[in-house]
Structure 1
Amino acid sequence: MRNRSFVQPVFLILFLTLLSDVYGQGGLFEAKEPMAIEMSFSIKQLKTETNDSTFIDSQMIVESANGQKDTLDIEIRVRGNFRLENCFYPPMRVKMKKKEAANTVFKGDRNLKLVLPCSKAKNAGNYLGREYLAYQLYEDITEYTFQTRPLRVTLTDTDSKKAESVELLGFFIEDDDDVADRFGGKILDDKKIIPTLMEDSATVRHDFFQLMIGNTDWSGLFQHNEKVMMLDDKTIVPLAYDFDMTGLVNPPYAQVNRNIGVERVTDRLYRGFCRDPALLQAIRAEILAKENQISETIEKNSVYFGESDAKACKLYINDFFDILKSDRLFEYNVLNACRSNSAAQTF
């Protein structure tokens, strides 16, 4: 007579293994290969009938690694400012109910940001790919990042008379609360935190990263394109996001703030606050040691943009490492360019 207490767990393990194969129970962000999704909705309705608190019902078809497709009921809304007003495809937020996400890769990530190309131009996906690259480079620099997952999106705009589908590159970004839960922390919304009060090493790594990708479109104090996360009563770290207005991406719609002395989006300007020079030198050495790793990250993600874009990204990042390798350039671009505490009230 068989021992039922043994047989039942075996079948349970086989069943859970099957679920894992079908749905990818390892988690949405544990895999880096592109996920295939299909969406169909009215872009006009999305832009006119949703806002920060209003969603519309929709569906998302998700294709698993073995080719099985499952339809999930979701809610979607617009988000953001500049791209919402200036892009054909608006940035979105996707939300699903707990029961809908059960037994899927979305189980622990039911609220997500969805990033799509700005325009319908043929090369728009290249800029999106370069923006996704920026998130991967950020992971090379610091542990405090939003997780991302690349997507192959089949999108049907129901406003179109032909209702033709288009194939787009996109990516999901982890929700604010989920990244805070991952670190056992808390997002401090709508609070002005002077950057010099944030954890030194994490903040300097963040500031070096922003210099690396040529980003001046951020503010820690005013939480512009940045969140701040409290890990404990004494430790606050920055969480950067939204890297399209950078020299690394260099999209045609990019704008710069000439009030800070930047003429082109590809111009670099160190926006970090002054710290102990010894700390700045230590982080300099730390990032210099990652040059090969960063080069490999660019190469690995070059599948998301063209060959000329890959070359441009490599040259742009090489210029950053030229700054780190030269004592003269490092002194001029970082040590002498850092912002004093009196600048805390400006972008």
Structure 2
Amino acid sequence: MKKLLYTFVSACLLGLCSIENLQAQGGLFKTEEPLAIELNFSIKQLRSDTNDSTYIDSKMIYEVSPGKTDTLDIEIRTRGNFRLENCFYPPMRIRIKKEDVENTLFKGDRSIKLVLPCSKSKTADNFLGKEYLSYKLYEEVTQYYFQTRPLRVKLTNTDDKKGEVVELLGFFIEDDDEVADRFDGEILDGKKIIPTLMEDTATVRHDFFQMMIGNTDWSGLFQHNQKVMKLDEKTVIPLAYDFDMTGLVNPPYAQVNSAVGIEKVTDRVYRGFCRDPALMQTIRQEFLAKEATIFKTVDEYKQYFSEADLKTVNTFLKDYFDLLKSDKLFQQKILDSCRKNEAAQSF
């Protein structure tokens, strides 16, 4: 993301950062300014008439400059599992025809994931904001990540007889294939890759991060909330996503797998496999060196959640860095607790 921001700032200094230029370049993820969009559809129809291959037609109005909007014909479908079944606002995928995105903000990003709050409660945006923060924190520890863009969403659910417009926080997530294109890689969908065969440095960084945010809701082998990207013939790396069921976010619907051995998502456990202890010590030092950056990032995105949540997030992250600073706790909670190779074919 820092590289994207540098490119954006450089363009501005050259007088090339107008809305029109950003649109021509495909600028959806070139800035972190919240994008205002408007959507109008039936949530009931979305649930009943769509699946992984079936979409419904709709339109999206988006802001191209202050006071100026444009409209795109779009297709929408549901996606996901847990939130699809348990949330009022299901996770969605938006698809735009190739000919419609030319010279728009969405050029190069015509298939994108849309994340909205789970419920209609007044505090739902706070949990969404902390989930968005998790993606930004991940950018600080690895070069392999999904780009995101925050949204200010005006949504009209046509099932509502009053026709009320609700205003929600949301964000777009880059499509899998677009991530692969950025790295000249390939997403290995549907293939079971034993985690110990993944590139060790990128994988250990991923595993340390998942422990940092308190996430156990992932599996490399079964590609649960994780994609696997092939960089070359011998190198595959993890791509993490879907950070809602974490201790950092701690939503009301959070659950933990009983097999993991913790009672609640705010209990940390290291779920990575054992690697060379020297490498794990190296990644430990990497994270400790980024402690100030991590807390600075939290401060940069605090607008997306409450003051109380800010304090909770900072405390939760501080506990992790305290663990890393303690030789005793690091040995006990990570080096002695990492998963052994014989467990490599289990969840």
TM-score range, shorter chain: over 0.9
Is the aligned partner of 1:81 residue 2:78? no
- Paired letter, 1:36: A
Is the aligned partner of 1:135 residue 2:135? yes
Task: Give the Cα–Cα distance (whole angstroms) in 1 for the partners of residues 69 and 150 of structure 2.
Answer: 18
Distance change in 2, residues 1:229/1:18 (3 Å):
closer
8 A contact 2:228–2:237 mirrored in 1: yes
1:262-290 per-residue CA deviation (whole Å, 9 max, x = no partner) reads 10110111000000000000000011000
Q: Secondary structure at the match of 1:275?
A: coil
Task: Give the Cα–Cα distance (whole angstroms) in 2 for the partners of residues 174 and 54 of structure 1.
Answer: 20
Task: Give the Cα–Cα distance (whole angstroms) in 2 for the partners of residues 294 and 18 of structure 1.
Answer: 31
- Paired letter, 1:32: E
Q: Secondary structure at the match of 2:65?
A: coil
Q: Secondary structure at the match of 2:330?
A: helix
The residue number in structure 1 matching 2:21 is 20
Contiguous gaps of at least 5 residues in structure 2? 1-13
8 A contact 2:19–2:65 mirrored in 1: no
1:14 CA drift (Å):
10
Task: Give the Cα–Cα distance (whole angstroms) in 1 for the partners of residues 30 and 236 of structure 2.
Answer: 25
Task: Give the Cα–Cα distance (whole angstroms) in 1 for the partners of residues 293 and 15 of structure 2.
Answer: 38
Is the aligned partner of 1:240 residue 2:237? no
- Paired letter, 1:319: D
Task: Give the Cα–Cα distance (whole angstroms) in 1 for the partners of residues 104 and 25 of structure 2.
Answer: 6
- For 1:297-316, what aligned pairs fall within 5 Å after superposition? 297-316=297-316
Contiguous gaps of at least 5 residues in structure 1? 1-12
1:161-193 per-residue CA deviation (whole Å, 9 max, x = no partner) reads 011000000000000001000110000011110
1:345 CA drift (Å):
2.1
TM-score by length of 1: 0.94
Sequence identity percentage: 68
Q: Secondary structure at the match of 1:141?
A: coil
Task: Give the Cα–Cα distance (whole angstroms) in 1 for the partners of residues 270 and 207 of structure 2.
Answer: 7
4+ long deviations beyond 6 Å: 13-16
Q: Secondary structure at the match of 1:58?
A: strand
1:25 CA drift (Å):
3.9
8 A contact 1:24–1:64 mirrored in 2: no
Q: Secondary structure at the match of 1:64?
A: strand
Is the aligned partner of 1:223 residue 2:223? yes
8 A contact 2:51–2:78 mirrored in 1: yes
> How well do the aligned residues superpose, as a CA RMSD in angstroms?
1.5
- Paired letter, 1:215: N
- Paired letter, 1:323: L
The residue number in structure 1 matching 2:65 is 65
- Paired letter, 2:334: V
- Paired letter, 1:314: N
Q: Secondary structure at the match of 1:278?
A: helix
The residue number in structure 2 matching 1:99 is 99
8 A contact 2:26–2:107 mirrored in 1: no
Is the aligned partner of 1:274 residue 2:274? yes
Q: Secondary structure at the match of 1:288?
A: helix
Which of 1 and 2 has greater Rg? 1
Distance change in 2, residues 1:252/1:16 (3 Å):
closer
1:117 CA drift (Å):
0.1
Task: Give the Cα–Cα distance (whole angstroms) in 2 for the partners of residues 18 and 273 of structure 1.
Answer: 46
Distance change in 2, residues 1:289/1:99 (3 Å):
same
1:67 CA drift (Å):
2.6
Task: Give the Cα–Cα distance (whole angstroms) in 1 for the partners of residues 174 and 19 of structure 2.
Answer: 26
Is the aligned partner of 1:261 residue 2:257? no
TM-score by length of 2: 0.94
The residue number in structure 2 matching 1:40 is 40
Q: Secondary structure at the match of 1:273?
A: coil
The residue number in structure 1 matching 2:6 is none
Task: Give the Cα–Cα distance (whole angstroms) in 1 for the partners of residues 113 and 90 of structure 2.
Answer: 11
8 A contact 2:152–2:169 mirrored in 1: yes
Task: Give the Cα–Cα distance (whole angstroms) in 2 for the partners of residues 260 and 249 of structure 1.
Answer: 18
1:284-325 per-residue CA deviation (whole Å, 9 max, x = no partner) reads 001100011000100011100000011111000111101110
8 A contact 1:29–1:148 mirrored in 2: yes
8 A contact 2:26–2:108 mirrored in 1: no
Aligned length: 334
